[in-house]
Amino acid sequence: GQNIDQPTEMTATEGAIVQINCTYQTSGFNGLFWYQQHAGEAPTFLSYNVLDGLEEKGRFSSFLSRSKGYSYLLLKELQMKDSASYLCAVLDSNYQLIWGAGTKLIIKP
Amino acid sequence: EADIYQTPRYLVIGTGKKITLECSQTMGHDKMYWYQQDPGMELHLIHYSYGVNSTEKGDLSSESTVSRIRTEHFPLTLESARPSHTSQYLCASSEGGVDTGELFFGEGSRLTVL
């Protein structure tokens, strides 16, 4: 079967750095997405990786290793507004998105 | 700024009722999707459309139906609601396929069936 694994919950301190990991086992791979979802709100797009390596976008960076079936989202200079769930999703060989259950990130002052 | 709207945001209904969840987008996107999301769980695709008069079932078995008569409108209908349908329903659209760009999500419709 197809599977996306992310930690259920993480806690970090304001101003610090946090890395949210995502491992996947899917039938084929056509890219990996990260979305942010604040409680009670719609998910919003953060990043898309299809090639190995690190993509940086401001305070957020996303890394992909296709050979290891692994990605991480790196958040720097954490702010209270970064408290949210972070969803990892993989596009499989049929171009269907397979979603992880999300990682709830709690930021403490 | 994404312009995709869902109504109602919240709905509480009794078992056996027929309901329609509305979704409209003003971005001219051809591709639209309906997802179901339970708290702390992954999103599950229940229906999608690649354009007018195109509808497909997703990976989650669902007793709902959809229609796509106009590009901007993608309503979801439950003919006879059951407590197991209690969930959040998210509508999304994309300019190209998901491999070419991001999904824009609506705010969601939270359905409770008593």
Structure confidence by residue, pLDDT tens digits, A28-74: 999 999 999 999 888 999 999 999 999 999 999 999 999 999 999 99
What distance separates the 2 farthest-apart alpha carbons in chain B?
41
The DSSP call for residue B94 is E
- Which residue in B has a C-alpha nearest to residue A47's C-alpha? B102
Which DSSP helix (H) or strand (E) runs through A28? none
Interface size between A and B, measured as CB pairs under 8 A: 48
| Predicted local distance difference test score (pLDDT) of residue A102 | 95
Percent of chain A as helix, strand, coil, to the nearest 5: 5, 55, 40
> Pick from A42, A48, A89: which is nearest to B105 by CB?
A42
Cβ–Cβ gap B97/A95 under 8 Å? yes
Q: For an interface test with B, give the residue of A22, A99, A103 to mutate (most B CBs within 10 A).
A: A99
pLDDT confidence of residue B110: 95
- Does the pLDDT at position B100 exceed 90? no
Is the pLDDT at B76 greater than 80? The verdict is: yes
| Bond before A109 cis per omega within 30 degrees | no
Q: What is the pLDDT of residue A6?
A: 97
Of A23-27, B35-39, B71-75, B99-103, give the lowest mean pLDDT range: B99-103
- State whether residue A48 sits within 8 Å of chain B by CB: yes
> Do residue A43 and residue B44 have CB atoms under 8 angstroms apart?
no
* Separation between Cα atoms, residue A95 and residue A105, nearest integer Å: 28
Check whether B96 has a pLDDT greater than 90: no
> Is B1 in the A-facing interface, judged by CB distances under 8 Å?
no
Which has the higher per-residue pLDDT, B84 or B96? Answer: B84
Tell me B71's DSSP state. Answer: T
**A31 CB within 8 Å of a chain B CB:** yes
Specify the higher pLDDT residue, B41 or B97.
B41
**Residue in this structure with the two tokens 């992954």, named with its chain if needed:** B42
Distance from CA of B81 to the nearest CA of A (A): 23
Q: Which of A95-109, B18-32, B99-113 has the lowest mean pLDDT?
A: B99-113
Instruction: Determine contact, residues A31/A97, Cβ cutoff 8 Å.
Output: no
**Cα Dmax for chain A:** 43
What angle is formed at CA A26 by the lines to CA A22 and CA A27, rounded to 5 degrees? 160
Side-chain half-sphere of B70: how many Cα atoms within 13 Å? 9
pLDDT for the residue numbered B1: 56
The pLDDT tens digits for B37-68 are 998 888 999 999 999 999 999 877 678 999 99
Residue B98 has pLDDT above 80, yes or no: no
Residue with tokens 């997703």: B58
Q: pLDDT band at residue B97, thresholds of 50, 70 and 90?
A: low
Q: How many Å separate Cα A46 from the centre of its chain?
A: 8
Task: Work out the pLDDT band at B113, boundaries 50, 70, 90.
Answer: very high
CA distance B21 to B34: 10
Q: Nearest to residue A39, comparing CAs of A102, A97, A93?
A: A102
> What are B18's two structure tokens?
């027929």
B94 at interface of A, judged by CB pairs closer than 8 A: no
